[in-house]
Amino acid sequence: MKLYSSLGPNPRLVRMFILEKGLDIERIHIDILTGENRQPEFADKNILGTTPVLELDNGFMLSEIVAICEYLEELHPDPALIGTTPETRAEVRMWARRIDLEIAVPMTLGFRGGAGRPMFEPRMDVVSTEAATELSAISDRHWVWLDGQLGDKKYICQDKLTLADLVAYCFIKFGGTIGWTLPEGTDNLARFVQHMDERESAKVWEDSE
Does residue 66 sit in the same domain as residue 122?
no
Residues 90 and 177 occupy one common structural domain: yes
Neighbouring C-beta atoms of residue 115, cutoff 10 Å: 14
> Domain with 48 in it: what CATH number?
3.40.30.10
Per-residue pLDDT tens digits for 41-79: 998 999 999 999 999 999 999 999 999 999 999 999 999
Domain final position from 15, 50, 75: 75
Q: Are residues 98 and 172 in the same domain?
A: yes
Determine, yes or no, domain membership for 148: yes
Do 144 and 185 belong to one domain? yes
CA separation for the pair 108, 171 (Å, rounded): 9
Using CA atoms, how far apart are residues 204 and 7, in angstroms rounded to an integer?
10
Same domain, 52 and 139: no
Classify residue 194: in a domain, yes or no.
yes
Q: Does residue 205 belong to any structural domain of this protein?
A: no
Please determine, for residue 14, whether its predicted confidence score (pLDDT) is greater than 80: yes
End of a domain among 75, 102, 131?
75
63 forms beta bridges with 53
Range of the domain at 26: 2-75
- Other Cβ atoms closer than 10 A to 209: 15
In the predicted model, is pLDDT for residue 208 greater than 90? no
Question: What digits encode the pLDDT tens for the residues 105-131?
Answer: 999 999 999 999 998 888 888 999 999
The answer on 188 and 93 residing in a single domain is yes
The model's confidence at residue 32, banded by pLDDT at 50, 70 and 90, is confident
Exposed e or buried b for every residue in 56-93, given b needs 16+ CB within 10 A? eeeeeebbbbbebbbebbeeeeeebbbbeeeebbebbb
Q: How many domains does the structure of the chain reveal?
A: 2
Residue 135 forms part of a structural domain: yes
Residue 208 lies in a domain: no
Residue 159, helix vs strand vs coil? coil
Maximum separation of any 2 CA atoms in the chain, in Å: 48
**The model's pTM:** 0.95
